[in-house]
Amino acid sequence: MPLTLLTHPLIQHKLTILRDKNTGVKEFREIVSEIAMLMCYEATRGLPLEEVEVITPVAPARSKTVAGKKLALVPVLRAGLGMVEGMINLVPSAKVAHIGLYRDPETLQPVEYYCKLPPDIMERDCFVLDPMLATGGTAAAAVQYLKEAGARSIKLLCILAAPPGVDKLGYEHPDVEVITCAVDGHLNEHGYIVPGLGDAGDRIFGTK
């Protein structure tokens, strides 16, 4: 499974601010958005271009535009919502799909509670957004849901990853590229990434 590590100094600097337990909700949310924008820049590096003619104030020119590729941003509720604004700033014509999953306490299987995809999802390059790839259970289920809906091109954008999540996704969905800013050491007994940054959803929405 392809894993792309984003080592750009600005991304790494901003990630350190997210990790800091003293970073407040407002700044945390803003930095998540900024990192998402930088991740979008990297994740769209392979978009096809076409040449068009444009008249500059000086002369006609041949220049390039993105060749009408259809994109879908797919935040996994709820923490993935924090990454939408930063991404959509760069790709404003992308559609936004939503996937809400919870873990059934008895079967421990992910269950969808709210999912809404654009009808042409099979024609779109899908960027699944989930800031934390921990066990990989939710991300793998979200990717599975997208595939069952017909999606064929899927990348997972997570700000932080841990080895169990990377392994699970690689095993279940080897065709899905994982793009992340860091792969941390391990998970603790509560399933949190160590050292990580805590609960991304709580820190984005101020619910703790």
Residue type, 181: C
Our CB check for ligand URA shows the closer of 134 and 178 to be 134
Quick check: helix, strand or coil at residue 11? helix
Does the annotation count 199 as an active-site position? yes
Min dist. Cβ of residue 12 to ligand URA (A): 18
Does the annotation count 184 as an active-site position? no
Min dist. Cβ of residue 20 to ligand URA (A): 15
Q: What share of the chain is helix, strand, coil (3-state, %, to 5)?
A: 35, 30, 35
Our CB check for ligand URA shows the closer of 91 and 99 to be 99
Min dist. Cβ of residue 138 to ligand URA (A): 9
User: Which of 4, 78, 135, 202 is labelled catalytic?
Assistant: 202
Sequential DSSP letters for 22-72: T--HHHHHHHHHHHHHHHHHHHTTT--EEEEEEE-SSSEEEEEEE----EE
Beta bridge partners of 165: none
Min dist. Cβ of residue 127 to ligand URA (A): 19
Does the annotation count 103 as an active-site position? yes
Our CB check for ligand URA shows the closer of 117 and 200 to be 200
User: Which of 19, 29, 78, 103 is labelled catalytic?
Assistant: 103
Q: Could you tell me which of 32, 5, 7 has the C-alpha nearest to residue 17?
A: 32
Instruction: Give the interface with ligand URA as residue ranges (CB under 6 A).
Output: 79, 132, 134, 191-193, 196, 199-201
- What distance in Å separates the CA atoms of residue 6 and residue 159, rounded to the nearest whole number? 9
- What distance in Å separates the CA atoms of residue 71 and residue 105, rounded to the nearest whole number? 34
Helix 137-148, helix 163-172: angle, nearest 10: 20
Our CB check for ligand URA shows the closer of 69 and 103 to be 103
User: Which of 4, 78, 135, 199 is labelled catalytic?
Assistant: 199
Kindly list the catalytic residues.
103, 107, 199, 202
